[in-house]
Amino acid sequence: MKIRGRAINKGMAAGTAVVLETPFSFIGDMNPKTGELTMAGHPLAGLPLAGKVIVFPTGKGGTIAPFITYLARKNGKAPRAILCEQVDPITAECAMVMDIPLMDSFPSVELTKIIKTGDTVKIDADAGQISINYPE
């Protein structure tokens, strides 16, 4: 299934999705040393985000987040790509600092419902599209 969206930071990547249904921040919700999700009480808390395609509705606050993502990248713990329903400027800045693809605005779907944690997602931000391969 190919879905059209908007490229915020270009590039191509493929990886396993981690889907979060609430707004996410790299400061507070991710540990830059371990790359783990640190959302208190979340069922996926503790899950490593390194090398994953993180999917969330939008970012939330935390202007210090770009520094945190720089550290994550230096530690080899950066995610592989980011997909948002509607990106916020801080998340965009983080993707640019980590130099990973970021896409948003997928008008034909509700992104966090159509992708499930564990799905393989391929992103071609240059072409403005993603494809989801459900695990068989």
Partner 1 sequence: MTLLSGGISYMPWIKERWKLFLTKREEDMAAGVYGKGIEKAMKILVKFGNAFGAEKLVKITSAHTMPVEPLELLKEFAEDVEEVAVFTTLHPLMSAFSPDKYESMGIDRDFAGEELPVSEKRAEIHKRLGFNRTYSCLPQLAGNLPRRGESISWIGTGAQIMANSLLGARTNRDGTVINLCSALTGRTPLWGMHLDENRKAQVLVKFIGINFDTITDCQIGAIGYHIGAIARNRNVVFEGIPRNYGLDLLKYLMAPLSTSGSVSICHLTGITPEAPDSQTALGGKKPDEVVTVGEKEVLATWQKFREASRDEVDLVIIGCPHCTIGEIKSIAGLLDGKKIGNNQRLWLGTAEQNYRLAQLMGYAGIIETAGGVISSTCMATVPCSPLPGDVKVVKTNSFKAAHYITSFQRGKVSVVVDDIVGCIKSAISGCAEVR
Identify whether the C-beta of residue 90 lies closer than 8 Å to the C-beta of residue 54: no
Segment interacting with partner 1, rule: CB under 8 A, options 85-93, 113-121, 128-136: 85-93
Instruction: Find the binder of partner 1 among 5, 35, 57, 66 (CB under 8 A).
Output: 66
**Contact between 46 and partner 1 per CB under 8 A:** no
Q: How far is CA 13 from CA 7, 43, 44, 60, 94, in A?
A: 13, 26, 23, 24, 16
**C-alpha to C-alpha distance for 19 and 31, rounded to whole angstroms:** 17
Residue 90 DSSP class:
H
**Contact between 54 and partner 1 per CB under 8 A:** no
Segment interacting with partner 1, rule: CB under 8 A, options 56-64, 108-116, 128-136: 56-64
- Quote the tokens at residue 8: 């915020």
Report, in Å, the least distance between residue 108 CB and partner 1: 21
Segment interacting with partner 1, rule: CB under 8 A, options 4-12, 110-118, 128-136: 4-12
